Structure 1
Amino acid sequence: MNKLLTFLIALLMCSTSWAAATITIVNGDPPGIGFNDPTPVTPVGGNTGITLGAQRLNAFQAAASKWGETLNSTVPIRVLATWDALPCTDTAAVLGSAGALEVFSDFPGAPQPNAWFGKAETNKLIGFDADPDTPDIRARFNVNLGQPGCFTGSPFYLGLDNQHGPYTDLVTVLLHEFAHGLGFQTYTDDQTGELLAGIPSIWDYFLLDTSTGKVWKDMTDAERVASAVKSGKLVWNGVLVTAAAQSVLQRGTPILTVLTPPEVAGVYQVGTAGFGPPLSSPGLTGEVMPVLDTPPDLGLACAPLSPINLLAVKGKIALVDRGVCTFVVKIRNVQDAGAIGAIVADNVAGAPPPGLGGSDPSIVIPAVRITQEDGQVLKQALAKRTRAHSGMFANLGVNLGVRAGADPLGRVLMYAPRPNQPGSSVSHYDTSATPNLLMEPAINADLTHEVKPPFDLTYPLLRDIGW
């Protein structure tokens, strides 16, 4: 690798950004490929390159400049970048990846002993390059995006103005991936819980499981494996991110609050519906009753409700099961039966619960989706009901005291889905954040090119870990 890098630096073009930090893009592509692609193109969105390769390099430079003007380091940050054939289909694609090539711990002046730091941050902290023969960050991006079989007809947008329309904005993807390389990740294996060489990442000092009160550095391997899939319970416990979230995240989190009986009372994660009225505050409170129309104890509500089910759900919040028919059919049927709201229990394990898709302007009652696991908890409690009453009362609403993407104490939620998503779990913000954040596991179309408050929470996290 060192010999290859020496060759690349000597022979290939480099691009440099000078600001609060200097970020150098080291072009690692062979002739005619990637940054060296001579295909003629028309300038677009402030990108004046006239070849495909030049426009790609300009987009990289724009992302490097944004991070360069944001960070503070006297040591240049080198990014070895290539355009490669990454996994891709017509409906899903790996857009790119980036990460630190080396990590260091217990160096002189380390702000936290017994913790791994990425090379770029280590250099910043010690004031010189810890390994001049190795670049700091390795970045790979999908050279085939937009080609047949790889998001056919939808290539990267190479403009610098974020006016990407239906395409994927390359500068946004680069800002995201560069952040990983700068330290927005753990070096601990989230699938096995194993620490790298027995040492926690600086990340693990801030990753808190609120169900156990432990941070990752203090857990066993098995505890970390379990924590990585505790959606809604894994938070970032850094003071700078928590403070910045007050100006970035929207007030109000959609929730299902079960009020009685005591054994199941509490707050449950929900996915909201794309139809019907949005959840509001103080929300809708009512008694919960299940629909039962298919053995064993499934309430699909895919047909108009029977007289017994109609009697059960009239004036109540109906609990139905996912499956067989669309969400809008289920909700319209319970609405026609007189239900004032609806809860859809998922039929497959996993968390957080996705939203309810579909469109039907005739639906006027609120509806949410809960996980299969939470649905089973509620059904078990509902087994003690009579034909007309359950004694389970719940509220479908928005908790204005909790920001979207944070826990009740204001700590920002981290992405911890069930099942584990290798490469995404733990090292991203949760998808519940509103507005969408740069460091969620997927690139959203409404992102800006900003990395700091009041628009984003990426830089505060890097500051929490020592930048």
Structure 2
Amino acid sequence: MTKSPLRRIGALVLSCAAFAGAQAATITIVNQNAPGIGFNDPTPVTPVGGNPGTTLGQQRLFAFQHAADMWGATLTSSVPIRIGASFVPLSCTENSAVLGSAGANEIWSDFTSAPRPSTWYPSALASKLAGADVSTPGEPHIISRFNSRLGLFPDCLPGPGFYLGLDNRAGAAIDLVTVLLHEMGHGLGFQTFTDDETGAEMLDLPSIWDYYLIDNRTERPWVDMTPAERVASAISGRGLSWNGPIVTAAVPQVLAPRSRLVVSGSAAGTAAGNYEVGDASFGPPLGTAPVAGQLMPVVDQADGTGLACTPLNSLNGLAVRGNVALVSRGTCPFVDKARNVQAAGAIGLVVADNVPGEVTGLSGSDPGITIPAVRVTQDAGATLRAALQARSRTRSGVAVSLGIDPTRLAGTDDRRRILMYTPTTNAPGSSVAHYTTDARPNQLMEPSINADLSHTVTPPRDLTLPLLQDIGW
């Protein structure tokens, strides 16, 4: 039996329905904070959202155990699982923050009853499969850390910070239970121990994950690739899928049809066709009844582009009224752009990216936004703007339709396998170890938290448990 300490953990960055099992798992939280801080913080607080704690530390610990109990009711294991946990200062700025990080404390291969020889398994899963605790005596199976400064200091995403209630009613705050479910998922095994930046396997052994990561362009799994091929796969944009049979069977129950932008009309020219888009986390979702109109640009920059970060002037307002507005990414939040074009009378919004790369979604939350919004790549935005050069002040002749493609599922490859998160620039701690941000509805194990997540890890809402079942849970 071989053991190795874990060198990397998954991080959740801001930039449960119970599963009937034969034997629930017991999960306990090991408080690793010193007196007076973290879980031991004596700051008085008022009970909130079903959390009865009367100090900040008590509420944090109660939320942790609540999330652990949800996972415990979902999994099966005869071996109690220990999660070492603490609240400590983590990386943050005025505009972004690492919410938390977690991962397996130890990884093991060739233990008793290991399904695959010479393969790394996370400690909690290895213990379940062995039927006995394989971890070093006294060591937690999972190590987790969460940001103790979030929202409490002006240089760490100032605002409401973590919501410690248990009722998933965080509002403008960040729902701690959701973050905990996500990070515990990493520690339970939602991660590879192969380095996605170098492609190197830990001590030349693959992770159990690597058997199910498949390059959808070549149909080769990570276990059969060279390190260089794994590196290329990890920054492929949409080139890496999860090939586990349990996840793939559940995908049609969970994921909705893919959104699309259809461009046509007398002036569309070479811009005519179907475009992949990223969905917004705000506004109404696209459906079978498309939102259709002419595409009109917002122009408020010297180079002929438009940001729509302030209320539109009269000319831009005239252009977008009753039409779909085209704006550029940058300078202000996406919800500000949507709010401004909506106020001017636009019926929809298309945001063109300002950097090269694959299509991604639009983050943010504002219940007052009632028009649909999507995001297209920088190249697609340039193509659309070129087609709009001959427009008048109120007409472009470029017709667009925002709707769905009933033949494709959001966040999947051509074989309806869910995509993994593989941006073209590697994101350490996020790349490969998360689902794609293109999934619809948003999934718990995406790299950033989304306001529409529920406290569930199972179909028909979520694909986290099926992946853990693929690797052996």
What's the TM-score bracket when you normalise by the shorter of the two chains?
A: 0.7 to 0.9
Q: Quick one: structure 1 residues 330 and 140, their matched pair in 2 at CA, closer, same or farther if it must change by over 3 Å?
A: closer
Q: Is the 8 A contact 2:430 2:447 kept in 1?
A: yes
**Aligned-partner SS, 1:413:** coil
Q: How far off its partner does 1:418 sit?
A: 2.7
Q: How far off its partner does 1:287 sit?
A: 12
Q: How far off its partner does 1:80 sit?
A: 1.1
- Residue 47 of structure 1: aligned partner: 51
Corresponding residue to 1:230 among 213, 236, 243: 236
- Structure 2 Cα separation of the partners of residues 226 and 379 of structure 1: 32
Gaps of 5+ in 1: 1-18, 311-316
1:138 alignment partner AA: I
Q: Is the 8 A contact 1:176 1:439 kept in 2?
A: yes
2:421 alignment partner AA: Y
- Residue 439 of structure 1: aligned partner: 445
Q: Is the 8 A contact 2:260 2:274 kept in 1?
A: no
TM-score of the superposed pair, with normalisation by structure 1: 0.75
2:173 alignment partner AA: Y
- Residue 141 of structure 2: aligned partner: 136
- 2:409 is the alignment partner of 1:403: yes
- Structure 1 Cα separation of the partners of residues 117 and 32 of structure 2: 34
Q: Is the 8 A contact 1:187 1:196 kept in 2?
A: yes
- Structure 2 Cα separation of the partners of residues 169 and 242 of structure 1: 29
- Structure 1 Cα separation of the partners of residues 325 and 174 of structure 2: 40
CA deviations 1:49-105 (Å, max 9, x no partner) are 222222211111101111111111111111111111111223211111110011112
- 2:82 is the alignment partner of 1:75: no
- Residue 65 of structure 1: aligned partner: 69
Of all paired residues, the percent bearing the same amino acid is 52
- Residue 246 of structure 1: aligned partner: 252
Q: Is the 8 A contact 1:238 1:461 kept in 2?
A: yes
- 2:202 is the alignment partner of 1:196: yes
Q: Is the 8 A contact 1:186 1:202 kept in 2?
A: yes
- Residue 9 of structure 1: aligned partner: none
Q: Quick one: structure 1 residues 51 and 466, their matched pair in 2 at CA, closer, same or farther if it must change by over 3 Å?
A: same
Q: Quick one: structure 1 residues 393 and 195, their matched pair in 2 at CA, closer, same or farther if it must change by over 3 Å?
A: farther
Q: Quick one: structure 1 residues 45 and 196, their matched pair in 2 at CA, closer, same or farther if it must change by over 3 Å?
A: same
Compare CA radii of gyration and give the structure with the larger one. 1
- Structure 1 Cα separation of the partners of residues 64 and 330 of structure 2: 45
Corresponding residue to 1:85 among 89, 98, 109: 89
**Structural RMSD (CA):** 4.4
Q: Is the 8 A contact 1:188 1:201 kept in 2?
A: yes
- Residue 152 of structure 2: aligned partner: 147
Q: How far off its partner does 1:322 sit?
A: 6.5
Greater RCO, CA 8 A, separation 6+? 2
Q: Quick one: structure 1 residues 398 and 451, their matched pair in 2 at CA, closer, same or farther if it must change by over 3 Å?
A: same
1:457 alignment partner AA: L
Q: How far off its partner does 1:454 sit?
A: 1.8
1:80 alignment partner AA: G
Q: Is the 8 A contact 2:216 2:413 kept in 1?
A: no
- Structure 2 Cα separation of the partners of residues 126 and 355 of structure 1: 44
CA deviations 1:243-278 (Å, max 9, x no partner) are 2222222x321135799999x988645556978x97
**Aligned-partner SS, 1:428:** coil
Corresponding residue to 1:210 among 196, 211, 216: 216
Corresponding residue to 1:25 among 16, 29, 32: 29
2:235 alignment partner AA: V
Gaps of 5+ in 2: 1-22, 392-397
Q: Is the 8 A contact 2:241 2:417 kept in 1?
A: yes
- Residue 129 of structure 2: aligned partner: 125
Counting only pairs closer than 5 Å after superposition, residues 293-304 of structure 1 correspond to structure 2 as none
Q: Is the 8 A contact 2:276 2:359 kept in 1?
A: no
- Structure 1 Cα separation of the partners of residues 340 and 47 of structure 2: 50
**Stretch moving more, 43-52 or 78-87:** 43-52
Corresponding residue to 1:157 among 160, 163, 177: 163
Counting only pairs closer than 5 Å after superposition, residues 162-177 of structure 1 correspond to structure 2 as 162-177=168-183
Q: Is the 8 A contact 1:299 1:321 kept in 2?
A: yes
**Aligned-partner SS, 1:110:** coil
Q: Quick one: structure 1 residues 110 and 94, their matched pair in 2 at CA, closer, same or farther if it must change by over 3 Å?
A: same
CA deviations 1:267-293 (Å, max 9, x no partner) are 645556978x975558699999999xx
- 2:188 is the alignment partner of 1:182: yes
CA deviations 1:435-458 (Å, max 9, x no partner) are 221111112222221111122111
**Aligned-partner SS, 1:444:** coil
Aligned length: 431
- Structure 2 Cα separation of the partners of residues 145 and 343 of structure 1: 32
- Residue 10 of structure 1: aligned partner: none
Q: How far off its partner does 1:130 sit?
A: 1.3
- Residue 10 of structure 2: aligned partner: none
- Residue 350 of structure 1: aligned partner: 357
